[in-house]
Amino acid sequence: MKKLSVVICVYNEEPNIQPLSQQIKDALSGIDFEAIFVDDGSTDRTREEIRKINDDRFILVELKRNYGQSSALQAGIDQAAGEFVVLIDGDLQNDPADIPNMLRMAEAEGWDMVAGVRANRQDGMFLRKIPSKIANYMIRQSTGIHMKDLGCTLKIFTHETIKSIHIYGELHRFIPVLVTLEGATRITQVDVNHRPRQYGKSKYNLSRTTRVMSDLLLMLFFKKYLQRPMHFFGALGIITLILGMLINFYLLVVKLLGNNIWGKPLLMLGILLVVAGIQFITIGIIAELQMRTYFEAQQKTPYRIKKVTPAKEN
């Protein structure tokens, strides 16, 4: 097993490939590493530039089309065989020179994950920095993962930690949350260098805000109710059902007193709440069955063992 696997996702980063590969070679001199470039369906000459590297430590994984950063990261992680796995952007904004220090920290101090913090971020204030700060604050407050810079790609993990998760959709922003859910407790941060983009075009814009909000709701559900979805849907269903029944009981009394209740908005609301309550409870039952299938079919356990040691007799 190699000491380090470097996973780099690229999409139309043709001018950045050669300088990045050389910087990786220089930064990781003396370290047994492999560098995995995942080409996420580039339409320029990115793949050709990767093939020019002419170094058997560099691997090219070509995806059939553009799947997005999360899927590309997962493809690279699946190929990674190193004792430690580092994720880094392919746009030269992350500095490979930071990797050796992060590797030393992870190895010497036993961290599950060492995350980079862009101390002097070289991005636009209104389109990148401010939305990022707002997103980081919301994620910290909602998930309890108190990290300064959740959006920095540069992170290093132990092989076991990164292989314990599966990244899909656009959950690459929530990797620290995902590894925490899988039992990673030793997580730290370190300031890293951040450089302005020199070549190519940024793939980020404000349209991703709604996606971040949607993924945040998913992470909140995962964190609190992943193993007990009935507690969420069941409680919501019971409350809704009781409210509907109370409204309908009130309308029944009104009807028995000789008043006409047909067509009243309150009647419609009562019926709707009863139906919605039954649906929520049904969804909870189905979700519980799916979680049973998830754990049993993949032979997963609802817990993570940190260490097993034999008891010693006195």
pLDDT digits (tens, 9 = 90+) for 120-163: 765 555 555 666 666 666 666 666 677 777 778 899 999 999 99
Q: What is the mean pLDDT of residues 90-110?
A: 94
What does the pLDDT read at residue 304? 66
pLDDT classification of 276: cutoffs 50, 70, 90 = very high
Alpha carbons 123 and 121: distance in angstroms, whole number: 6
Res. 61: pLDDT tops 80: yes
Q: What is the mean pLDDT of residues 72-78?
A: 94
Q: What is the mean pLDDT of residues 218-224?
A: 75
Higher-scoring residue by pLDDT: 18, 197 = 18
Residues whose CB is less than 8 angstroms from the CB of residue 191 and which lie 6 or more positions away in sequence, other chains included? 116, 117, 119
Q: What is the mean pLDDT of residues 172-191?
A: 86
Higher-scoring residue by pLDDT: 164, 207 = 164
What does the pLDDT read at residue 249? 94
Alpha carbons 98 and 153: distance in angstroms, whole number: 12
Average pLDDT, the chain: 85
pLDDT digits (tens, 9 = 90+) for 208-220: 666 667 777 777 7
What does the pLDDT read at residue 303? 64
pLDDT classification of 309: cutoffs 50, 70, 90 = confident
Q: Which of 6-10, 196-200, 262-266, 272-276 has the lowest mean pLDDT?
A: 196-200
Res. 59: pLDDT tops 80: yes
